[in-house]
Structures are given as C-alpha cells and as structure tokens.
Structure 1
Amino acid sequence: MFPAPDPICAPATPLLPSAVAVVRVSGPRLGTVFAPLLRLPEPRQAALRLLRWEGFREKALVLFFPAPASYTGEDLMEFQLHGNPLLVRRFLAHLGTLGIRLAEPGEFTRRALLNGKQGLLEAEALRDLVAAETDTQIRLAQARAGAEPPWIAEARRLLAPWLARAEAAVDYGEEEGIYLNPEELAHELEPLRQRFHVEQIRVRAARHLRDGLRLALVGRPNAGKSTLFNALAEEDRAIVTDVPGTTRDVLEVRCEWRGLPLRLSDTAGLRDTEDPVERLGVARVGPVLEEADLVLHLWPAGDPEPDPTLLRTLAPFAGKVLEVRTFSDRAAAPGVTVAAPLGELDALEGALKERLLGGLDADACLGALATDRQTALLDALAAQVDLLLALEPGGPPELPASLLQGAWGLLARLTGEDRAESTLDHLFSGFCLGK
C-alpha cells in the first residue's frame, strides 16, 4: 500500500445541469476528515445525509467504501447531489476547507494502480473504454480490462529458468561447468518467438480498431466517391449529383460499418480544372492522403484506364492505395468491385479486413494490446527474442544473459511492474478528473 498524504476530490459526472451529480473523495482516514460535516454511513450502504455548509443545505445520498476494499485502495466516498453545476462547485470549494484538494486528471486510477488495485494494462484499457465511440471499441476495451493476456504469464514461465541459467553461467560458468546451449535455448523459446509475432499481427489490427480506420476516398469526378461515402456512413452526408465537381471540400465522418470503426474522408474529384473553388478542394486532397491508413482509389468499372492526373497524385502513396472498381452493376471489372447504390459492398469489406486487420475480424482482436506504448514494447520484446534465438554456439554467456535480462525488463515495463513516472504522467493525463 502507498497511502496518499492528502485526500482528493473531483466531480465524477459532467458539470452540466442534470438530475444527479456525483462527487468522489479518496484518501486516508476520511471519517476524521468529514467529522465536521456528517456522520459516515455504514460501509457500502447508501444513506441520506443532510449537509450544511456556509449557508447551504443539501440532501445527499452518501456511500462509504473503507480501505482497502475500494476502487483506489484508500477510504473512498461518493456523494450524489442535485445536479446543479453551481451547487457542485460550492460543495467542492467547501471540501477544500476540510483539507481535501481537487484531484489531478486520472489521480483516482493512479492511486488504484500504486495501491495494487489494478494493473497498468487495466488502467490503459479503462482510458480506452471511456474514450470509445463505437460498439467495437467498447468491446475491445472491455476485453483488455480484465486479467493480463495469458501469453504474458507464459512468457515469464519460459524466460525465468533461462534467465537464471544465463546469470549462473556468467557468474560461475568456468568454476562450476555451467554453460548455455543456444540450440536447446532456441528449441524451448521458439514457441514464444512465434507467439510474439502472432501478437504483433493482432496488436496492429487492434490499434486500427481502437483508433478507427482512416480511409480516404479519391478518384476522378463522378467516380462514385460520395455515393460510397454515404453508403459506408449509412446516412446522406455528401451531395450526390451527375454534375462533375459537386464535392469541393473534404467531408469527414466517424462511423461504424460492419463492425469496423471508420474515419472517412470524401475528397474533391481529382482533375485539372480552371474553377478556382474546385482547385482549392483539389489542393486539400494531399494532406488527407498523408494521414490516411488506406487510400481507396475509386475507378469506375466502365473506364478502360484511370486518369493519368490521378495516378500522378497517388504515386507517392502507392503502398497504401487500394483500387476499388465502382459501378460494378453497370460493367464487369477485375479486383475489388462495389455497387454502392445497391449495397453490394462485401468485396470491399473483405479487402479492408485483409489490408488493415491482417485478415482478422474484431472478435479475433479481443484481448490484444492496442496502445502506442504497448505496441512499442511488444515490438522491442519480439526483436530481443529474435536476436536471442539467432545466437551462434560458442559465444560468451554475457550476450544471452543480457538479451534475456532485456526481455524480462521489457515484460516488466509492459505490465507496469517497472514503473516510470513519465509513463504514468502521460497515461493519466488523458483521464478525466473523477477517474
């Protein structure tokens, strides 16, 4: 336990007019702290209390969770007040006179982490759950909010004996005849190496689902961009006409389509034009292509070849361009074809999952790591084990020992056992005050 030196408070609900507002308080010895204001209710039993302070009278429903059986591991109280923002602010100000300061962003969860009530991976999943905008993102965050992924425990189990042997070989190898056999080590750790690479595929798919797939729709005028944009968004957001150049700006929408969180950008038709407004729209396409995870090059099935101007624009982004043949109900074409007005989009769904999710679907990503921090550590861990298994026989024991120690340390950083203050500061800055 790491008891905090001072109690903290924060609104756990937005400061907006509402029926009920919730204020949370956490810290040591709250019974003594709140003695001037109220009598604490029985643990985990809601009780109505009349609060009086500085001329105010407020009936509040109060809950008390004594340490260590609370969210933070400290004494924790929740006050359910009438949802008047001014009233809540006045109550928070009065708590300040009792020595209860306003919490920093994420400080409740930070204390829960430091007091062993939850792990770093669970805290990161909680942040993603609060920020989720689609059903798929909620499910992904909830799947990560429980126990650690089982492969982490398996990695520890496989690495621990080899780490001990490597350190013994360094310290007592010549005296005691302790040596490492790289072939035996490679045989036993090969399943772990394969598992790390599987998790790398899953984590990249999970990151796309967590952040939303950024898709840019580009093509010549009247290539079917806005029609497909509306079909994916499942609402009429873009104007669709037979007049070339209808779309003159970048239209953006966030949506969930067939379980895929999408961040769609509909762009102006790419062509040489003298219209000054249309030229402004065309000029805005470049930055959209830079930021996109995937560029959908929409090419009508009836066109014998794509527009040369368009190909020149797309050339720098060739690695992330997916050709999609539109109006497939009017003409046959090879590759990925769609007929957006008819809802014929199965081929596009399959192509998106293959290009961005590695052929996985959302269910296959449940429980996978997903944040930038987790991805970087997993990549470093996989690289460390790759180097370890590539060692040749006859080398000094210090080298495998160093690699094994590095892998063990990366696991500790991943789970939060090796805590860096800068990492925690970055993580909890993204939380609201009441978390």
Structure 2
Amino acid sequence: MHPTADPICAPATPLLPAAVAVVRVSGPGLPGLLAPLVALPAPRKAAVRTLAWDGFRERALVLFFPGPDSYTGEDIVELQTHGNPLLVRRLLAHLGTLGARLAEPGEFTRRALLNGRQGLLEAEALRDLVGAETDTQLRLAQARAGSLPDWISGARHSLTPWMARAEAAVDYGEEEGISLNQKDLAIELAPLAARFHVERSRARASRRLQDGLRLALVGRPNAGKSTLFNALAGEDRAIVTEIPGTTRDTIEVRCEWRGLPLRLFDTAGLRESQDPVERLGMARVGPLLENADLILHLVPVGEVASAPVDAALLPFRAKVLEVRTFADLAEAPGVAIAAQLGDLDALEAALKERLLGGLAPDACLGALATDRQVALLDDLTRQLDLLLELDPGCPPELPASLLQGAWGLLARLTGEDRAESALDALFSGFCLGK
C-alpha cells in the first residue's frame, strides 16, 4: 500500500436527484474509522444498514472490500443511499469529521495505480472510456483496457539481449574482446522498428478518433453546406433554403457517421454582404478554421470557388479539402458528393485518407491514443530508426545509448518510470469518485 495514503471519500454518482446515490470511501482501517457511523458487513457481501449521524437516519446498502484485493489496493466501502443531493452532502461532511477527506479528481484510480492494482495505460483508457460520446470511442477505449499490448511485451523481449550485449561491449570490450555486431543488431531489430511505425500510424488515427474529427464546412452561400451538415449529423440541425445567407452563425454538433466520431461546424456562407448579422457570422469563421482538423471547401459542380472563400482559406490551405457538391447534376473530378441523395462514399474515403492515414476505425482497436502515448511512441520510433542507421563500425557507446533510451521510453510509456507531472495531468481529467 502507498505509505502516504490517508482516508478519502467522494460521491461516485452525480449530485442530482435520483433513486440511488453511491458514496465511496477508501483508505486504511475503514472498519474502525467508520464504526461510529455503521457496522460493516462481511467482505464482499451487500447488507442493508442504518447510518446514523447528527440527527439523520438513513437506510443504506453497504459493501466492504478489504485491501489489498480492492480497486485501490486499500480498504474500500461503498454506501448506496437515497439519491438526494443534500443527503449526500451531509453524509460527506460527516465522513470528513471521522477523518476521511474529500478525494481529489481521479484520486481513487491514482491510488490503484500507485498500489499496483492498475497500470498507467489502463488508467488512461479508463479516462477515455468515461468520456466517450460515440460507439466507436467506447470500443476504442475498451480495447485499450486490460493487459499490456503484446507488441510492447515483444519490444522488451527483443531489446533486452541487445542491451546486455551493448553494455558488455562498452564495459569489457577492450579487456575481453567483446564486440557488438551492428549488422546483426540491425537485422534482428528491423521488424521491431517496422512494428513501431505501424503502431505510430494506428496511434495517431486513434487519437483523432478519440477526440472526434473536427470538420469545418465552408463555401459560398447555397454551396450545399447545410445539406451536407444535416446528412452527416443524421438530423435536420441546419436550415436549408434557396435563400442565400440562411446560416448566419456557426452551428456545432457531435455525432457518429459511418463509424467516424465527428465534430461538425456549419459556417456562415462567405461572400460580400452588407447585413451586419451575416457579416458577424462570417467574422467568426477564422478562429474555427484555425482549430479544425480538416476544412471541407464546398463548391457546386460546374462552378469555380468564389474570391471571398479563397481569401479566407489561404492561411489554412494545407488542411483544405475541396468537395464538389450536387454531383448528381453533372460529372465532377475529385471528391464529388450528392448529400441530398446520400451519395457520400467519396467523402468517407477522403476523410479516412486525410485524417486517419487510410485506416478504418476498427483497424485502430487496441492502439495507443492519448497525447502522451503518441508523443512517446514518436520518440521511440525515431530512437529505433537512428539505431538502425548507425554505421557498422561505430563505437559501441552509440548503440548502447540508443538502446537504453528506447528502454527508458518504453518504461515511461507503460508507467514504470513515472513522472508526477504526467500523473497530475492525467488524473485531473477524472471525476471525484473515480
């Protein structure tokens, strides 16, 4: 058990009127700590008990999970009461008088990590699972929960003997005639480097899917933006008319379309206008384009892009995808769609190619996905690439240093080499009772 652990408590359900509320307590010696409030039942056996404090009496379902075989590795008690927010606040206040302070965000899971009950990768997957908003995001987070990915275990197995040889060559090479065969090292570790490249591509795609693909729809009035917006959202969220300038402000919706979690932004049509409301809507387009993953520039078939649109998109041209709309009326090159008829296959293929490296969402199951994980995997891939590019006659200190660096990055990735700042950033995103 982590030596600095003190008793903590928190609501595990939202403080809203409901049939049932759950309060969790974790820490050492809970049977004694909670004795003035309730007599705990036998371990892992639910029992109805009466909680009595400060004039309140509440019938509650009580469960007791002794440490170290509990979620946090400490004693845990769950109190299931009636879901009155005031009642829960009074109970939490009384637990404070008994010596259990209010938990910080994610502190239950942090203790599980520090006490060896959970790995860092699993904790990160849990955070994404709680925050998932679409079926795809749920599946991605669930696929990352559980045991360490096989490719990480395989990487350790491949690196271990070469680390030993490299260190022996550095420490005893001259005395014992031990050398490091760089050619053999490159041959044996090339498959590992290739696997790192594959996992890096999957991780980048998974990161975007977990966040949701931010798509901004831009174009002149009546270019088909609102029609496409509604088709992707699966509902009529934007007004569609033949009157130019119908959309005067940004409309945002989160949805899932063909397995792709989307954050859609329908913008005001870009044109010269004297209408002050419409001009204000157009002025808001710039900041939105800055934060978009991809800008869909909608141009009706048979027409050319308008000057106001071209000018607005010039600073963001690297992430602009031109989409030809109303493709049912005429032939069109490139990405051509007919949103009103549901003909969007070309757009689906383009989104996967531009944002996911050509991968389908299911190909990302089990991939790493957080910013921290992706950054470490980028460094790990570069480390292996440099190792394989070393000259065969180089001093053993160079491959030894790169091998040790790769090993250290793996340890940081799995959480065996923990940085407190990284843990603070991770658990700040959790709710109080998790």
Residue of structure 1 in register with 2:23 after alignment: 23
Residue of structure 2 in register with 1:361 after alignment: 360
The whole-number CA distance in structure 2 between the counterparts of 1:281 and 1:107 is: 43
Moved more, 383-392 or 243-252: 243-252
**3-state SS of 2:429 partner:** coil
Alignment check: 8 A CA contact 1:302 1:330 kept: no
Residue of structure 2 in register with 1:410 after alignment: 409
What letter is aligned with 1:50?
A: T
Residue of structure 1 in register with 2:324 after alignment: 325
Residue of structure 1 in register with 2:223 after alignment: 223
Residue of structure 1 in register with 2:312 after alignment: 313
1:352 aligns with 2:351: yes
Question: CA offsets, 1:39-69, max 9 Å, x none?
Answer: 2111111000011111111111000111111
What letter is aligned with 2:145?
A: A
Alignment check: 8 A CA contact 1:170 1:397 kept: yes
Residue of structure 1 in register with 2:235 after alignment: 235
**3-state SS of 1:39 partner:** coil
Alignment check: 8 A CA contact 1:326 1:339 kept: yes
**3-state SS of 1:395 partner:** coil
**3-state SS of 2:81 partner:** strand
Question: CA offsets, 1:150-209, max 9 Å, x none?
Answer: 110011011111111111111101001111121111111100111111111101110111
Moved more, 415-424 or 343-352: 343-352
What letter is aligned with 1:96?
A: G
1:213 aligns with 2:239: no
Q: TM-score, normalised by structure 1?
A: 0.98
What letter is aligned with 1:60?
A: A
Alignment check: 8 A CA contact 1:217 1:265 kept: yes
Shift of 1:4: 4.3
Alignment check: 8 A CA contact 1:3 1:27 kept: no
Residue of structure 1 in register with 2:248 after alignment: 248
Shift of 1:220: 1.1
Residue of structure 2 in register with 1:130 after alignment: 130
Residue of structure 1 in register with 2:118 after alignment: 118
Residue of structure 1 in register with 2:424 after alignment: 425
The whole-number CA distance in structure 1 between the counterparts of 2:233 and 2:310 is: 26
What letter is aligned with 1:127?
A: R
The whole-number CA distance in structure 1 between the counterparts of 2:398 and 2:72 is: 42
Residue of structure 2 in register with 1:142 after alignment: 142
The whole-number CA distance in structure 2 between the counterparts of 1:227 and 1:45 is: 56
The whole-number CA distance in structure 2 between the counterparts of 1:5 and 1:295 is: 49
Shift of 1:5: 3.7
After the TM superposition, list the runs of 4 or more consecutive aligned residues in structure 1 that deviate by more than 3 angstroms: none
Alignment check: 8 A CA contact 1:3 1:28 kept: no
The whole-number CA distance in structure 1 between the counterparts of 2:282 and 2:34 is: 63
Residue of structure 2 in register with 1:288 after alignment: 288
**3-state SS of 1:434 partner:** coil
Residue of structure 2 in register with 1:105 after alignment: 105
Question: CA offsets, 1:71-109, max 9 Å, x none?
Answer: 001111100001111111111111111111111111100
Residue of structure 2 in register with 1:91 after alignment: 91
**3-state SS of 2:26 partner:** strand
Question: CA offsets, 1:209-267, max 9 Å, x none?
Answer: 10000001111111000110111111111111111111111111111111111001111
Residue of structure 2 in register with 1:378 after alignment: 377
The whole-number CA distance in structure 2 between the counterparts of 1:174 and 1:299 is: 70
The whole-number CA distance in structure 1 between the counterparts of 2:149 and 2:301 is: 46
Alignment check: 8 A CA contact 1:230 1:238 kept: yes
Aligned residues with identical type, % of pairs: 77
Shift of 1:289: 1.2
Shift of 1:3: 4.4
Structure 2 alignment gaps of length 5 or more? none
What letter is aligned with 1:193?
A: A
**3-state SS of 1:254 partner:** strand
What letter is aligned with 2:264?
A: L
Q: TM-score, normalised by structure 2?
A: 0.98
Alignment check: 8 A CA contact 1:270 1:309 kept: yes
Alignment check: 8 A CA contact 1:9 1:24 kept: yes
Residue of structure 2 in register with 1:278 after alignment: 278
The whole-number CA distance in structure 2 between the counterparts of 1:379 and 1:5 is: 35
Alignment check: 8 A CA contact 1:4 1:27 kept: no
The whole-number CA distance in structure 1 between the counterparts of 2:79 and 2:251 is: 44
Residue of structure 2 in register with 1:45 after alignment: 45
The whole-number CA distance in structure 2 between the counterparts of 1:327 and 1:152 is: 48
* Number of aligned residues: 434
The whole-number CA distance in structure 2 between the counterparts of 1:323 and 1:124 is: 36
The whole-number CA distance in structure 2 between the counterparts of 1:287 and 1:366 is: 32
1:157 aligns with 2:157: yes
Residue of structure 1 in register with 2:341 after alignment: 342
The whole-number CA distance in structure 1 between the counterparts of 2:61 and 2:275 is: 64
The whole-number CA distance in structure 2 between the counterparts of 1:239 and 1:134 is: 25
Question: CA offsets, 1:6-62, max 9 Å, x none?
Answer: 211100001111110000011111111122222211111100001111111111100
Shift of 1:370: 0.6
The whole-number CA distance in structure 2 between the counterparts of 1:219 and 1:198 is: 36
**3-state SS of 2:140 partner:** helix
Residue of structure 2 in register with 1:170 after alignment: 170
Structure 1 alignment gaps of length 5 or more? none
What letter is aligned with 1:333?
A: A
Alignment check: 8 A CA contact 1:4 1:28 kept: no
**3-state SS of 1:94 partner:** helix
Matches within 5 A, 1:1-80: 1-80=1-80
